[in-house]
Structure 1
Amino acid sequence: MKLLDMTDRARFGMTTAIGLVLSAGAAQADVTAADVWADWKGYLSSSGYEVAGDESQSGDTLTVSDVTMTMAIPEEDTTVSVNLGEMTFTENGDGTVSVGMPAEMPMQVQVESPDAEEVSVGLQYNTSDFEMTASGEPNDLLYNYSASEIAVIVDDVTVEGKSVDLGTVEFRIADVTGTTTMQVGELRKSDQKMSTGPVNYTIDVADPEGGTGQFMMKGQFAGMTVAAEGAMPLEMDPADFAASINDGFSADLTMTYSEGSSEFKVVDPPQTTEGTTKSDGGEFTVAMGAEGLTYDVSSKNMQLNMAGGDIPLPIEVAFGTAAFNLTTPIAKSEEAQDFAMGVTLGDFTMSDIIWGIFDPAGELPHDPATIDVDLTGTAKLFFDLFDPEQMEAAETGELGVPGELNTLDINTLTVSAAGAELTGDGAFTFDNTDLETFNGMPAPDGSVDLKLTGANGLLDALIAMGLVPEEQAMGVRMMMGMFAVPGEGEDALTSKIEVKSDGQVLANGQRLR
């Protein structure tokens, strides 16, 4: 069952609200309670929300009760609303303002759509020893905040008016400290820094359809740091996110986390799958703006143990490094734009039990394996990735070719396993006006240099194990002889593969096509 069906813009707005609760370079100056509340309203409004609340002033304290924020997403006939409860803004007499909120703050998220089930999710936002102070000037505010614990708990879920008992979903962060600056000019700019102590999460949910299935995951890591910068137009239209990007929207978030572990269980009667994970920490980065969209995820010394279900024996694997990065353009342009993609699975190892399945005699070296690929290049995009109408036209083929590849650089290519290693690098350009020479593919022009070591030793071991017949190994050796020449050192081969724009393909200077 899909409990929430909302676009990335709605999820961004939700994160904005929670981010303000967590946070919200300014020179010391007088700032009033009304100034700070106006800044909150301005931030939420800039994110595309309509904000309302009942304001009352008593002495130096401005109280805003029944704070609600609502966003309509016309193209999906969906409305998202959140109730933040009551907030107070108290002038301290020294030019600063303290921001207060209840220790237990219920939040209600409602999704209404004529084409989908109406869903209401109740969240409990709890804080312990929460303090926040705003200082600076009305359009240049500095927020300092801290809490001994912040917790977000899913309290209840209602679908079409019927309560759904999911189980336990909670996220707890200890020892939170941070700062946020808000500067308002032609754009609203923010700069946030946060650090925490231990982070714990629990997801223990049952089958919402009433079956006996279950999904459980519990985990923790020692702490995390968050650094985020952003800019947004003073008015954002949630129905036209592409226009917001053109008007200056940008966001850059980096989160690092320390060592941690988790345990999980999946019950799908009659089978049960269980496992654990452990890592020394990692980093997650996401950035978006007119220059494109970037994801970068990495983890260090990751271990996975799993058993049960359809798995015939316990699985124990580990990575020294696991990483993925992607950069892609998001806006149409007549000029070529940069892109990048990389995957690293470094120092992969597995238990002797798994090795024993296909190498019981220990013929193969059990050295750690690595896959490392780093690609960059340039391309043109012929539609705006965040424009719903253009995206639909691209998916249905109305736009024709959605884009074109202009250049491709192979910066790193490494594949090593069982005593053999393949490395390489190269570069290509593509002629998109020539779709005939290579049968519909833009004509490439460039080369790649490859080096292969340990291949013959690997083939000998596979023959001894009975996994590769002698005649097949002979065919493989003949193919390597056609495409490669002896390199430096024992059992080493090199190859230079060239592709010409006129259709020629050469290996070490000899024409293959």
Structure 2
Amino acid sequence: MTRFARYSSSTALAICLGSTAAYADLTAADVWNNWRDYMGDMGYTVTGTESGAGDTLTVSDVRMEMDFSADDETVKSALVMDSLTFTDFGDGSVSVQIPAVSKITVAGEPATGEAFDLAIDYTQSGFDMVVTGDPDDMTYTYSADSMGVKLSSLTVDDTPIGPDIARIDVTMADMSGVSRIVQSDLRNVSQTMTTGPVTYDMAFTSPDDDGAAKITGGLESLSFTGGGNIPAVEDPSDVNAMIDAGFGFTGEFTYTNGTSDSNFDGPDGGGKMTTSSTGGALAVSMSGDGLSYSGSQSGLIIQALMTQMPIPIDLNMENMAFGMMMPVKKSDDEQDFGLKLALEGFTMSDVLWGMFDPQGQLPRDPATIAIDLAGKAKLLVNFLDPKVAAAMENSDEVPGELNALEIKDVTVEAAGAALNGAGAFTFDNTDMTTFDGMPKPTGSIDLTLSGGNGLLDKLVAMGLLPEEQAQGARMMMALFAVPGDAPDSLKSKLEINDAGHVLANGQRLK
């Protein structure tokens, strides 16, 4: 995770260069000087040739390099621009112009695997940026008719890889945004950005001609809102040092009406798939309090046809969502974590239903699967430290302790049956013997099941479940559950007490 973040940061900074990566005063010369100093503080080596004419400063042969090499592998990245132009309007504002095409290069010699060199064209048309404000509080207002990234060359182990083997082309139209940078003890950045249509075209072919994939698609619109605090540290790639110095950020992407088309082929067969959704979101935040991700899609439709499947696949989902929260820093104190997953309103075509229920005996109402967990844990190592992460790979050291787990909700609704549950447990990490190698839990969970027996009857009638297996399932339900308040309903309370006894509805099982 840390290594990926270090490698990708160069490209991310380069792409953002036209919008948010500058920190400048309000004259042409000072804009460039502070831009150069800021990139230097981020770990880049910045070079360029300056020339002035009137109110305009031109910096030619611009090169911003960063070395990500570590241990026995080498990775270097650079952003190359023919020129940058800074124009002082004389009214306290500065215009910044970037080339129509800039180049992002990455060269690497990994410890294992093949050496590679790649170049990406960073393109723009109709770009305009104006910087206003004062040296400690600046606002960048920008727009562009289009901006994009395109893989222009790739070499693996001294062998050129042409566009017939690898192709990446992403374009964003009608981009506009505002970024504000306030300098105090920490550099605070806040951003908003919107685009019109976003399109992508990617293709990959195995050099051995044993597989290929092509993916095209796009979004009707894309927007971003976010910001955070950025400290000045000696090594910006040291995530722990950044967090200790006050680093934190939060950001959210949202989009409308996304579509994709995929075609693939391989030794085991091929196929094609199309997807669409009415919208979605992806949010991420990170600080000393932890790392969190969340995302959602609405109106998801998946249609596929594969050589290994006798019929087409047609799936629909009203909403799909996920969320994760976890600590990132070693601490002797308990820290929060959480996990959410929801697949709501899931349906499939009658053709798929007909494969196992041709007579329509099972209810075909939309299905839902959801889980919502929260808890407390202690993180015993700084896993974001590359050296610590490498040491963990060859160690039996436990990275953390689970102290508490709350099951806020477990829901499974499908084929006329519904299972719901909620509960909470605490864990004693000093007792690893009561439950054979895991910390002893104490707590309970309440479960309810409706429509379970009816579903078993239908599965037996359809021939999908042998009668003797259905009887075994009924015996297990009778052992762990008692009748509920409604017909064909069961409820159960599963407990683990302080003595380590496992009970079901008060009856000891262990």
CA distance in 2, matches of 1:341, 1:270: 35
Q: Which residue of 1 aligns with 2:128?
A: 131
- What is the identity, as a one-letter code, of the residue corresponding to 1:181? R
Q: Tell me, yes or no, if the aligned pair for 2:262 and 2:274 is still in contact at 8 Å.
A: yes
Query: Aligned pair 1:259/2:240, yes or no?
Result: no
What SS does the corresponding residue of 2:229 show, helix, strand or coil? Answer: strand
- What is the identity, as a one-letter code, of the residue corresponding to 2:79? N
Q: So what's the TM-score if we normalise by structure 2? A: 0.94
Q: Which residue of 1 aligns with 2:79?
A: 83
Q: 1:51 aligns with which of 46, 52, 75?
A: 46
Q: Tell me, yes or no, if the aligned pair for 1:119 and 1:158 is still in contact at 8 Å.
A: yes
Q: Tell me, yes or no, if the aligned pair for 1:166 and 1:206 is still in contact at 8 Å.
A: no
Q: Which residue of 2 aligns with 1:463?
A: 460
Q: Tell me, yes or no, if the aligned pair for 1:30 and 1:94 is still in contact at 8 Å.
A: no
Shift of 1:379: 0.3
Q: Which residue of 2 aligns with 1:473?
A: 470
Q: For 1:26-425, what aligned pairs fall within 5 Å after superposition?
A: 31-76=26-71, 77-85=73-81, 86-112=83-109, 116-167=113-164, 168-207=167-206, 209=207, 211=209, 213-238=211-236, 240-268=238-266, 271-397=269-395, 400-425=397-422
Shift of 1:375: 0.3
- Cα distance 1:17–1:366, how it changes in 2: closer, same or farther (>3 A)? same
Shift of 1:107: 3.0
Q: Tell me, yes or no, if the aligned pair for 2:79 and 2:102 is still in contact at 8 Å.
A: no
Query: Aligned pair 1:11/2:42, yes or no?
Result: no
- What is the identity, as a one-letter code, of the residue corresponding to 1:351? S
What SS does the corresponding residue of 1:21 show, helix, strand or coil? Answer: coil
- Cα distance 1:128–1:153, how it changes in 2: closer, same or farther (>3 A)? same
Shift of 1:473: 1.3
After the TM superposition, which parts of structure 1 deviate over 6 Å for at least 4 consecutive aligned residues?
Answer: none
Q: Tell me, yes or no, if the aligned pair for 2:10 and 2:78 is still in contact at 8 Å.
A: no
CA distance in 2, matches of 1:473, 1:117: 55
Shift of 1:123: 1.6
Shift of 1:148: 1.3
Shift of 1:251: 2.3
Q: Single out whichever of 379-388 and 501-510 deviates more from structure 2.
A: 501-510
CA distance in 2, matches of 1:153, 1:30: 32
Q: 1:159-203: CA deviations, max 9, x gaps?
A: 344321134311111111101112223222211110111111111
- Cα distance 1:255–1:472, how it changes in 2: closer, same or farther (>3 A)? same
Query: Please, what is the CA RMSD of the aligned residues?
Result: 2.0
CA distance in 2, matches of 1:321, 1:46: 43
Q: 1:372-424: CA deviations, max 9, x gaps?
A: 000000101111121112112223225x2211001101111100111000001
Query: Aligned pair 1:488/2:485, yes or no?
Result: yes
- Cα distance 1:10–1:238, how it changes in 2: closer, same or farther (>3 A)? farther
Q: For 1:491-506, what aligned pairs fall within 5 Å after superposition?
A: 491-506=488-503
What SS does the corresponding residue of 1:45 show, helix, strand or coil? Answer: helix
What SS does the corresponding residue of 1:7 show, helix, strand or coil? Answer: helix
- What is the identity, as a one-letter code, of the residue corresponding to 1:387? D
Q: Tell me, yes or no, if the aligned pair for 1:20 and 1:40 is still in contact at 8 Å.
A: no
- What is the identity, as a one-letter code, of the residue corresponding to 1:103? A
Q: 1:186-238: CA deviations, max 9, x gaps?
A: 2222111101111111112333x252632111101110110121222223515
CA distance in 1, matches of 2:3, 2:401: 31
Q: Tell me, yes or no, if the aligned pair for 1:379 and 1:403 is still in contact at 8 Å.
A: yes
Q: How many residues align?
A: 504
Q: 1:335-372: CA deviations, max 9, x gaps?
A: 01100001111111111111111111211111111110
- Cα distance 1:39–1:190, how it changes in 2: closer, same or farther (>3 A)? farther
What SS does the corresponding residue of 1:349 show, helix, strand or coil? Answer: strand
List alignment gaps of at least 5 residues for structure 2.
none
Q: Tell me, yes or no, if the aligned pair for 1:73 and 1:238 is still in contact at 8 Å.
A: no
What SS does the corresponding residue of 2:457 show, helix, strand or coil? Answer: helix
List alignment gaps of at least 5 residues for structure 1.
none
What SS does the corresponding residue of 1:416 show, helix, strand or coil? Answer: strand
CA distance in 2, matches of 1:452, 1:200: 46
Q: Tell me, yes or no, if the aligned pair for 1:371 and 1:415 is still in contact at 8 Å.
A: yes
% identity of equivalent residues: 43
CA distance in 1, matches of 2:464, 2:114: 54
Shift of 1:13: 3.1
CA distance in 2, matches of 1:166, 1:234: 41
- What is the identity, as a one-letter code, of the residue corresponding to 1:78? T
CA distance in 1, matches of 2:14, 2:35: 9
CA distance in 1, matches of 2:126, 2:508: 74
- Cα distance 1:170–1:355, how it changes in 2: closer, same or farther (>3 A)? same
Q: Single out whichever of 308-317 and 351-360 deviates more from structure 2.
A: 308-317
- What is the identity, as a one-letter code, of the residue corresponding to 2:317? F
Shift of 1:241: 2.6
CA distance in 1, matches of 2:439, 2:123: 57
Shift of 1:303: 0.8
- Cα distance 1:106–1:459, how it changes in 2: closer, same or farther (>3 A)? same
- Cα distance 1:405–1:141, how it changes in 2: closer, same or farther (>3 A)? same
